Structure 1
Amino acid sequence: MEIRHIFSSYLKNFSTVLAFALLFVFVLPFVWLQNSFVSSGTIFLDYGFIKAPILDSLLLLLLVLGFLFIYSVLVCLLIFAVRKDLGKVKTNYYLREKIHKFAIKYFIFLSVFTVGGTIIASFLLDFGVPVELVNILLIIVSLSFLFLPQTIVVDEESLRSSILTNWDFLLKNIPLVLGIFAVGSLVVFGLLLVEFVIDFFFFVGNFFSLFFSLVVFVPVLEIIKTKMYLERFDIVRKYSLQD
């Protein structure tokens, strides 16, 4: 897979990529509310948000679900767009009949994983588990679902089958997963440095890093993962040879 092909897909689907900026409308509410904060290109939940006053917890939960729903739709749209570029699909049919089903499946998973993971992490901390270990466990579990959106959109299976297919693909491509994790870690570290420098002068580093993450890092990552996943069907290889 060549960088120019990734860059070409990014530009070809720039309207979809730019739509990720819509998620920025959630930033100020997340900043205003307690138990959530923005840093290193990510929105974090405090593990103890379930212990906050009930109205505060419900408001934060609704905000999280709203963010995850729009995020799910955009990710599925982008994966479909890349898939459409590399193969013949009935665009109107998929946009009308399929995309919302893909998005709902992914949204259900993200909601259960995010809320469930936060609650479990809170209990682990209450039992004295170090927060560093909790974070490492969450990262490992997150990596185990790295290609889930791709399996949902490309294979068009049930959520359960998509999860199993995702695990099967991961186990057969462990070096690939480790490579993506390494690159992702470097990007996050770079965003932290940039955020620190900008904050030193303007105090908006966290907003810049989040915007970059939403409009550049996340879309590029999903494009790369989609092309990698489609290689198992030889779709990307044929496309590259024809280019």
Structure 2
Amino acid sequence: MSQDQDSNRRPIEISFPIDQVNEIAEREAHAKRYYRPVYTMHKWWARRLGSVFRTVLLSSLADEEMSVDTERQSTFGEEDGLPEVDWENPDALWDYYLEDIDFGDKTVLDPFMGGGTTIVESLRMGCNAVGSELNPVAWFVVKKEVEPIDLNELDATYEGVKERVGEEIQDYYRTECPHCDDHHADVMYSFWANELPCRNCGEDVALFKDYRLSSARSSKDDHDNVVCPDCWNMRVS
């Protein structure tokens, strides 16, 4: 390496593209309906964004030995190639963010892997990834995220489940359309809340103040986003 052997500093210790990654991270955080990497298969608390982890990995592990898929690069028309990185001032590493980078034999350890963002992003960049987690649910979820699967077999299993219990399950994920009395609208998530009897009258009281978990930022009316297909077609036509 051409870095100073005495200091042996990694690129992340010299510079970090915080402005660039903030811009991408903001877009990623607001596009979860469209960008669904494998580690979003299960909800997890305070999940960090993949773009942040990818940038941290790039700035931590990059050196002159990293490899880039040049065939894919030429496919995207980057005839001039990637810039040469000055390891004393590695700002040019940001141009490698979207590339298929392979860090080869480098190993990433995440002793608190949670929902698996670090593990998956490390594998995507060619690293050996080692994860540890006390929570058995997290361990199981990450294990399933990275295991190889037969996609045809998976699709067939989904179809079998849909055929057997699809309609029955969907009944639990429908709600009344606020714009008409004839149809139901599909819901994305259901929140199950415990109930306790009121201390005064004995009537059951749900231990949750509001059944609306979220609303679209672009809508002035929360109910605008809970409509049946017929009402939706009327609104957009």
Specify the TM-score bucket, using the shorter chain as the normaliser. under 0.3
More helix by share: 1
Structure having the larger proportion of residues in strand: 2
